[in-house]
Structure 1
Amino acid sequence: MKITIIGTGYVGLVTGACLAELGNDVFCLDLDAKKIDLLNSGGIPIHEPGLEEVVARNRAAGRLTFSTDVEAAAHHGVLQFIAVGTPPDEDGSADLQYVLAAARGIGRHMKEYKVIVDKSTVPVGTAEKVRAAIQAELDLRATYATFSVASNPEFLKEGAAVEDFMRPDRIVIGVDATPEGERARDLLRSLYAPFNRNRERTYWMDVRSAEFTKYAANAMLATRISFMNELANLADKVGVDIEAVRRGVGSDPRIGYSFLYAGCGYGGSCFPKDVQALERTARHHDQELLILRAVEAVNDRQKHILGNKIVKRFGNDLAGRHFAIWGLAFKPNTDDMREASARVLLADLLSRGATVAVYDPVAMAEAQRVLQLDLTSAQLANIRYAENPSDALVDADALVIVTEWKAFRSPDFELIKKRLKQPVIFDGRNLYEPDTMFDAGIEYHGIGRSLQVPA
């Protein structure tokens, strides 16, 4: 099947590469010539395990093409996936300018039936706006062509996106109850047939419900995280181990264990902006989503939790103090620094006069780029980018863990004690057991885990 993907960002590139892996002829469009040049030269603009190999394999097989040619893209695929960014606008709503620009590009050049599939995360009612934008372009050209607009939101986890796409737990598709919509249903059913051979994974619904489902799913997951973080903060006050609580609560099959880990706040490109966008939709309809307002407030506060614990231990004035930071990306297996908790922590420490040595397995270059936006020149001068985790520890007053990379799970604790000025660890992801740290002679500050200070 011939498919066009508009946008070669995180969603578009993964979608295009994986659909090509299934044997489809995929044309990926992006207006960023530098990104297209990079892709055509064999490079990858994002860090995503396994993606580079899939892209290379399908480019070599001739099933995956990258181009800036809008007209060629519009003519290529009967299925036109819009997978461009929807960043938050000033009021928190999703900015649809790139989605509607993509729609207009299709309408400006299409000559025959197309299915326009909104793959980007978009608010309820976007399909109608996309339909109107395409029809307006057809009217300007006095061209008659039928088309359908469908919604097929992505449910990909950064760091596991290729696996998620190739082995989905669900495929959500919204189509219209019209003849054009039925035709779209048939095409999309054919496209996704390889994923349904074992069992039916596709959930068919109307377009608006599909658009809403994506926001509802991310909002629910964000709610679970903030709920556990709030309980963890109380657990610290009353001498409770939040990990024991998590296991006890998660054992209830009505609740489960997923997304119940306490930590130093969620980040990334999805949860923060999707929660804000859903709140904005509610306000537009004169409704307040009080739970989601609290979810967002708790998460904003939680990103300061490590800084607050450090201040409580070392004092408000951190001048002359030096800290080792392990982990910068918002989560493991990605270099994504969007809304990362490390950005808040670094601002908190540097504003109090501290110096830091930071290390992340893949996000160092991206961190240097985004921190230029966050910090002053004087603060930037107080950051040292370490070559490895051990190097970051040298002469630090404490180790602070922000991202739960696997490489940090079983470190040499004796080496840590040797390199640090004093054996103190602030663990923002609860990687270690307090009893183990106590036995190792390490002062351990977790999130919602009872503190034990060795004699």
Structure 2
Amino acid sequence: MARIFVVGSGVVGTATGKGFLHAGHKVTFIDVDERRLEVLRSEGLDAHSRLDLRAEPSSFVFLTLPTPNVGHAYDLSAFEAGTASVGESLRESYESHIVVVRSTVPPGTAESLVQPLLEKHSGRTTGEGFTVASNPEFLRAASAVEDFRHPWMTVVASRSARTRERLGELLQPFGGDLRFFENPAEAELVKCAHNIYNATKISFWNEMWLVSQELGLDLDPIAQTVARSAEGSVNPLYGIRGGAPYGGVCLPKDTQGFLGLADSIGLHMPLLKAVVEVNDQLAGAVGERSGTPVTSAV
């Protein structure tokens, strides 16, 4: 049985804590919102407003704090405050703890923000009293608890091999594909790219929905067919090799040609236009670096 603290008890924190409890671990929830604490306590859960590690054995401290956006930027103020409070608690502990970044954060946050804050407020250095890891969540709000208990993907990253091993031992029993990285920024980028890819796919099909509306077509059976016919849908490795713009005959022809079709029916397709522009820019950049024009990479 592991000793686990969940700092930040919103949807992600609550699902994380309840998942570990169900697996037989001892869990304490930490949050600054007294109303949220009252709800957790009403469910018989151990919930407090302050993290106290003084009498605790070596533990896992999961940071599941909010990281909302303000315009085109992450607001990390609450995340920073929660991390600082963990550092203050580490100062009072005689054991070594693993601090795990589970919130969605910009790549590089674990090492450029979390680690320095913990060192500043604990008076200790990484590896002496604590280590830092990244374990991004892949939870859906409507099914967060079940998603935690039955993950399809678990990502763990830390510079410390022993920390990766311990987190792997903690998370492996839940099942799913378990992947390890040495650089926490890699795991943080996994989560950001994961969400952005999902958003892009939704916007793509919404753009196609607009086209289908103009043409008097029902998109549902079309989208369901393409979901099985397109290599980009059925082959998870298709198109993921960076630095290789698409080329050949079909993709340039149909992306450009479809923009003309959209213009002819008075429809603006900003996503498709951006796809063409990004590919053209990348082809130019790759060609400049190699000294050879790139026209047909796939």
How high is the TM-score relative to the length of structure 1?
0.48
Which among 222, 231, 235 is matched to residue 212 of structure 2?
A: 235
Matching residue of 2:118: 134
Q: Is the 8 A contact 1:82 1:120 kept in 2?
A: yes
- The residue type equivalent to 1:150 in the other structure is A
Q: Is the 8 A contact 2:101 2:110 kept in 1?
A: yes
Tell me how far apart the structure 2 counterparts of residues 171 and 142 of structure 1 sit (CA, whole Å): 28
Matching residue of 1:302: none
* Cα distance change on mapping 1:222 and 1:143 into 2, 3 Å: closer
Q: Is the 8 A contact 2:60 2:100 kept in 1?
A: yes
* Cα distance change on mapping 1:109 and 1:158 into 2, 3 Å: closer
Tell me how far apart the structure 1 counterparts of residues 82 and 67 of structure 2 sit (CA, whole Å): 12
Alignment of 1:254-333 (within 5 A): 254-256=231-233
1:212 is aligned to 2:189: yes
Matching residue of 1:394: none
* Cα distance change on mapping 1:77 and 1:85 into 2, 3 Å: farther
Matching residue of 1:33: 34
Matching residue of 2:221: 244
Tell me how far apart the structure 1 counterparts of residues 197 and 142 of structure 2 sit (CA, whole Å): 20
Matching residue of 1:20: 21
Matching residue of 1:175: 158
Matching residue of 2:294: none
* Count of matched residue positions in the alignment of Structure 1 and Structure 2: 234
Q: Is the 8 A contact 1:6 1:102 kept in 2?
A: yes
* Cα distance change on mapping 1:240 and 1:142 into 2, 3 Å: closer
- The residue type equivalent to 2:131 in the other structure is S
Matching residue of 1:271: none
Matching residue of 2:3: 2
Instruction: Report the 3-state secondary structure (helix = DSSP H, G, I; strand = E; otherwise coil) of the residue aligned with 2:132.
Output: strand
Which among 79, 83, 95 is matched to residue 103 of structure 1?
A: 83
Q: 1:351-372 deviations in whole A, cap 9, x for unaligned?
A: xxxxxxxxxxxxxxxxxxxxxx
- The residue type equivalent to 1:27 in the other structure is T
Q: Is the 8 A contact 2:7 2:61 kept in 1?
A: yes
Q: CA deviation at 1:9?
A: 0.2
Structure 1 vs Structure 2 CA RMSD:
2.7
Instruction: Report the 3-state secondary structure (helix = DSSP H, G, I; strand = E; otherwise coil) of the residue aligned with 2:231.
Output: coil
Alignment of 1:35-434 (within 5 A): 35-42=36-43, 59=44, 64-72=45-53, 75=56, 78-89=59-70, 91-110=71-90, 111=93, 112-128=95-111, 129-139=113-123, 145-176=128-159, 181-196=160-175, 201-205=177-181, 206-252=183-229, 254-256=231-233
Q: Which is helix-richer, 1 or 2?
A: 2
Instruction: Report the 3-state secondary structure (helix = DSSP H, G, I; strand = E; otherwise coil) of the residue aligned with 1:150.
Output: strand
* Cα distance change on mapping 1:195 and 1:118 into 2, 3 Å: same
Instruction: Report the 3-state secondary structure (helix = DSSP H, G, I; strand = E; otherwise coil) of the residue aligned with 2:9.
Output: coil
- Of stretches 3-12 and 76-85 in structure 1, the one that deviates more from structure 2 is 76-85
Q: CA deviation at 1:201?
A: 1.6
Q: Is the 8 A contact 2:28 2:48 kept in 1?
A: yes
| Amino-acid identity (%) | 32
- The residue type equivalent to 2:14 in the other structure is L
* Cα distance change on mapping 1:98 and 1:20 into 2, 3 Å: same
Q: CA deviation at 1:195?
A: 2.1
* Cα distance change on mapping 1:142 and 1:7 into 2, 3 Å: closer
Alignment gaps of 5+ in structure 2: 235-269, 276-298
- Of stretches 22-31 and 241-250 in structure 1, the one that deviates more from structure 2 is 241-250
Tell me how far apart the structure 2 counterparts of residues 144 and 77 of structure 1 sit (CA, whole Å): 13
Matching residue of 1:262: none
Tell me how far apart the structure 2 counterparts of residues 87 and 143 of structure 1 sit (CA, whole Å): 27
Q: 1:375-405 deviations in whole A, cap 9, x for unaligned?
A: xxxxxxxxxxxxxxxxxxxxxxxxxxxxxxx
- The residue type equivalent to 1:245 in the other structure is I
Tell me how far apart the structure 2 counterparts of residues 2 and 293 of structure 1 sit (CA, whole Å): 51
Tell me how far apart the structure 2 counterparts of residues 144 and 171 of structure 1 sit (CA, whole Å): 24
Instruction: Report the 3-state secondary structure (helix = DSSP H, G, I; strand = E; otherwise coil) of the residue aligned with 1:202.
Output: strand
Alignment gaps of 5+ in structure 1: 43-58, 258-289, 296-455
Instruction: Report the 3-state secondary structure (helix = DSSP H, G, I; strand = E; otherwise coil) of the residue aligned with 2:46.
Output: strand
Q: 1:419-453 deviations in whole A, cap 9, x for unaligned?
A: xxxxxxxxxxxxxxxxxxxxxxxxxxxxxxxxxxx
* Cα distance change on mapping 1:292 and 1:175 into 2, 3 Å: farther
Q: CA deviation at 1:87?
A: 1.0
* Cα distance change on mapping 1:133 and 1:142 into 2, 3 Å: closer
